[in-house]
Structure 1
Amino acid sequence: MNDQVKCPHCGNSFSLPDVLTHQLEEQMSKKYSRENEELREKLNNKDKEIVEQKRILWQKALVIAEEKIKDKTSVETLALKEQIESQRKKINEAQKIELELRRERIKLEQKEKELDLIAQRKIDEERKSISENAYKKAQDENRFKELGMNKQIEDMRKQIEELKRKSDQGSQQLQGEIPELFLENILKTEFPMDEIKPVPKGILGADVLQIVKNKFSKSCGIIIWESKRTKVWQEGWVAKLKEDQREAKAEVAIIISQVLPKDFKHYGQKNGVLIGSFEFIIGLASLVRMKLIELATVKSSLIGKQEKKEYLWNYLQSTEFKHRLEAIDEAIDLRKKILEQEKKWFKNKWATEEKAIELLSDSLMGIGGDLKGIMGKSLPEIKGFDMLPAGNKEKNEQLF
């Protein structure tokens, strides 16, 4: 069957079912488009009607709400005015009470100042009286002391005249002791850690023994000194000091002389004895001390462990160690006594301050109770007037 159709315009051939289908589709499409337009127009009109109805309803609701608000506002405004007026009256009353309290507080402060002033005046008067009495007593004591001093001055004047008389006569022994005292004072001043002691009379011919000690107060050696203030050098001094050195078991012997041997300019050594002028006392002593301490340190390092234990044991059993422990124990006891005294003083002070704080707190609570009874709940919150802890406040208010 031939179902082809030829277009008279373009000359193209089409299938007949396709032509019919295409025409049917165009017709249905136009029909549905028209119906959609009509439906869309109806929907738009419906939406406009709904919007208009909503607008009308909203206007009516606004009118009704405005009328209700006006009625309600007038009643609430009146109640609010009354409440404000009542609150204003309560505030005025509270301000009056606060003003009275402030006035009372000012009166109390003025009274306290007046009492303090009176007490201070009394203290000043008593202090003045005590000062005058002490001054009179001191004058009397000074008068007696002055008489005693005059008597002492007269006695000292007589003693000075007697000493001057003896000094004018001259003493050969005193002239020999002057260099010895000079040497001893210099060594004690420059070397306070060392033990400086004069040689006992009649035992040795030397003047001073210097026991050298290190920073641990340990003896490191002995220096024997002899001083001479003569116009002529004598060779026998060296041999005599050597004998004294052996007898004193001293490591070093030094002669300090105003006159030196001919071949010496300032200091030198002769037969194992150091010789120097008075200007080189400190220099010679410092040099010899340093060498003795170094030598003692070397010797100490060579001592065996057993010997060191013995030294330590001897030190622990020594009187020096005992005295040191006793001094530490006495210092601890003294500090304990001072601490106990300070504890007692602070306890008394704390008890006095605690009592004063309790009195102030009771007075403050009394004022708070009075105000609470007068004003009730209208009393504003004032710091320090809370009569109950924060956790029990609501429970207390519910009871009333």
Structure 2
Amino acid sequence: MPTKTTIKCPNCNTDIDVNDILYHQLEDELKQKNISEQKKLRDEVEAKRKEYKQAFDTLKVQEEAIKEQQEKFDEELKKATQIQLKIEKQKLQESIKKELEEEQSESIALLKKELDEKSNQVKELNKSKAEIEKLKREKEEITSKVQAEAEIALTQRLQVEKQAIQKASDEQNELKLKQKEEQLKQLQEQLQIAQRKAEQGSMQLQGEVQELAIEEYLADKYPFDVIEEIKKGARGADCIQIVHTREVQNCGKIYYESKRTKDFQKTWIEKFKADMREKSVDVGVLVTEVLPSALERMGLVDGVWVCTFEEFKGLSSVLRDGVIKINHAKKSEENKTDKMSLLYGYLTSTEFSMQIEAIVEGFTTMKTDLETEKRSMARIWKQRDKQIEKVLDNTIGMYGSIKGIAGNAIGNVKALELPYSDEEDV
């Protein structure tokens, strides 16, 4: 791991990273060097351009001068013989052409040489830029690595400190914990004594509390029903629930009795059944704190439902629903003949046939819309598939171009590489 060298400022005592300063200095020097080289290169190109322009102008002047000379020669040669004129003219043209070709070939060779030199300088400049970017990436990687290692070391140090603090705290609080445990033990003993005294209190008061809780729950849960309380001293259980619905009155009766004793007595069942016959109720529920030994949870004992107060809430809903359904079944049997005739008349009526026709039309319209949506979605899916394929092709082309330029400096994308490419790289 690279070490981080720092020095302190003698004026402000601030830590100064020497590597960071050297990196910035090197970066500034490279930038200044690149700027100066670019400026020098531009100046040289501008100077050469001016030289080429001057040479071109000179060539143009020479051509005009040659043209003038050629016209003079033509005038003089006219006085001579035709053969001598042609020979002299050809010689003069060949010599002028040769001179021009030599001068142009030298100029072109010189320009090509200078262009190659400038191209090499541009390549060197781009290489320097690439080196600067590489240094920046290496600095960022080193910085992130140092931060990660520092976070890991800090976490480990915090864990060690936490364990040391916890150990010291445990040692200091050991005596306090033992003292608290002893006090808690004494409080538990006192609480058990108080509970035994409370259990020895008035059983009648406990029973009345449960009776009131049953009546209040039934009244709140089923506002349409009538909850009749059996007065104290009168023969019978505690209350009767007369079941009503929005449509039907007096669907049935549910009889409730509350017991809160330590032992369950079988004589309660016989007495409760006698009271049910006397009151002409449909269902009887005995809510007790202690279930019979034969039951682990609520159940039916000789035609009477026996449950705890916690089970009573769910059982009351089930029994009430059963009473309503039984009453509905009885009513259906009473009017069975009338209902059959009404049903037959309805099935053979125009209203029924029109309703069936409307239903079929609705399903036909839904099927037509569904087929239309299927065709539209198929077109949209095909269009999206082509778009995705186009994006993938362009992405693959861009990745291949970048990979061809940068080589291994670009990380491999597994989805765009052959399965054996990773092994070859290793």
Fold equivalence (TM over 0.5) = no
Q: TM-score, normalised by structure 2?
A: 0.30
Q: TM-score, normalised by structure 1?
A: 0.31
Higher-Rg member (1/2): 1
Higher relative contact order (CA 8 A, sep 6+): 1
